[in-house]
């Protein structure tokens, strides 16, 4: 965690914000290890509710239920990327398909390829990338007020670096997956190292240098995008790409975007509406059901209505649509013989 980002952003306690509507600031309570501006290990403390939030390997974990999150994510806390290929392969065979280890490797393979394959000298950058989708959103969103830029659901970090390059501002990347955030931090130090899935339990280790000149303006925190540790009206731009259909309650994410965005700030949303009950209870889907309704269950139409004041009883009045594009291509690699091609519904809104 960069001390400069912590001081400038002044995060708040997500528990006090959620339960009491209080924006109690978090204090840097204990530093166990630091290197210059980087705090590698320590504790943040809310002096209101006295909850502790750890800083682990440079990542502050500022989620409402730290105990549950860390206990269910312990594999990501202890994740290693320095194992020889032969040992990693043996572990994969031992743990087997469907194991937590196997699923974690699959996610890291899919998302790292999706973010960085165009920079890999051994890969052909022919597939539509997340960078191109983000650039379309930024083109629609700018100009925006000066201030903090937040990349929600930043995954392994490429979009966060690109936002810093596009805006020249301080950028904060937020995600709950600690192993992905660690990969993003390694990218900030100039290297991508991950295992690319070929099929089944077979992976090929990839390692190549990267250079993001704007990395000093970027930091990565672990946070729940439905309960943000950010002050009301503290962000000038917020990006949320391929996030809505990955959340237990996407509506809460939209209300948090509206709360955190400053007046005249911009919110960039992009989603393929790939709804799954494994991630989101169908009653919380934005469209994708109730085909007999006036909007026919269309997800894009439902999101549009949610961001149109007065269109629905629960429309979010503070966000007003500025621009949208209906079919922005984006490819996600599953393995060597399988690639999913998405079309994102891209929407930019202004907070008023």
Per-residue pLDDT of the chain (352 residues; tens, 9 = 90+): 999 999 999 999 999 999 999 999 999 999 999 999 999 999 999 999 999 999 999 999 999 999 999 999 999 999 999 999 999 999 999 999 999 999 999 999 999 999 999 999 998 777 888 999 999 999 999 999 999 999 999 999 999 999 999 999 999 999 999 999 999 999 999 999 999 999 999 999 999 999 999 999 999 999 999 999 999 999 999 999 999 999 999 999 999 999 999 999 999 999 999 999 999 999 999 999 999 999 999 999 999 999 999 999 999 999 999 999 999 999 999 999 999 999 999 999 999 9
- The 3-state DSSP class for residue 85 equals helix
pTM: 0.96
Domains of the chain: 1-65 (no CATH), 127-190+213-351 (3.40.50.150)
- What are the helix (H) ranges across the chain? 3-9, 14-20, 66-72, 74-77, 85-95, 100-116, 130-141, 158-167, 178-188, 250-260, 299-306
Residues whose CB falls within 8 Å of the CB of residue 120, separated by 6 or more in sequence, listed in order:
192, 206, 208
Tokens describing residue 50: 């006295």
Residue 32 CB: number of other CB atoms within 10 A? 11
DSSP state of 271: E
């Amino acid at each position: 965690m960069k001390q400069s980002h912590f001081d400038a952003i002044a995060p708040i306690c997500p528990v006090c914000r959620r339960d009491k509507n209080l924006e109690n600031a978090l204090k840097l309570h204990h530093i166990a290890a630091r290197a210059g501006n980087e705090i590698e290990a320590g504790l943040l403390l809310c002096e209101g509710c006295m909850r502790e939030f750890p800083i682990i390997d440079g990542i502050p974990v500022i989620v409402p239920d730290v105990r549950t999150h860390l206990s269910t994510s312990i594999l990501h806390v202890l994740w290693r990327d320095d194992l020889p290929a032969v040992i990693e392969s043996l572990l994969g065979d031992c743990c087997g398909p469907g194991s937590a280890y196997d699923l974690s490797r699959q996610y890291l393979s899919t998302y790292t390829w999706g973010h960085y394959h165009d920079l890999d000298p051994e890969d052909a950058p022919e597939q539509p990338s997340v960078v191109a989708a983000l650039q379309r959103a930024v083109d629609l969103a700018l100009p925006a007020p000066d201030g903090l830029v937040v990349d929600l659901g930043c995954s392994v970090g490429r979009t966060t670096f690109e936002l810093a390059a596009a805006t020249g501002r301080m950028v904060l990347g937020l995600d709950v997956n600690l192993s992905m955030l660690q990969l993003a931090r390694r990218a900030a130090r100039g290297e991508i190292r991950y295992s690319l899935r070929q099929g089944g339990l077979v992976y090929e280790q990839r390692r190549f240098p990267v250079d993001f000149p704007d990395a000093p303006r970027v930091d990565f925190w672990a946070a729940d995008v439905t309960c943000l540790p950010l002050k009301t009206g503290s962000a000038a731009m917020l990006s949320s790409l391929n996030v809505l259909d990955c959340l237990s309650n996407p509506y809460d994410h939209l209300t948090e975007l509206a709360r955190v965005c400053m007046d005249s700030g911009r919110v960039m949303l992009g989603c393929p509406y790939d709804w799954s009950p494994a991630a989101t209870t169908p009653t919380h889907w934005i469209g994708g059901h109730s085909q007999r309704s006036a909007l026919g269950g269309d997800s894009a139409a439902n999101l549009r209505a949610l961001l149109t004041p007065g269109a629905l009883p629960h429309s979010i009045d503070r966000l007003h649509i500025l621009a949208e594009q209906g079919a922005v291509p984006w490819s996600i690699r599953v393995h060597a013989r399988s690639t999913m091609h998405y079309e994102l519904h891209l929407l930019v809104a202004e907070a008023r």
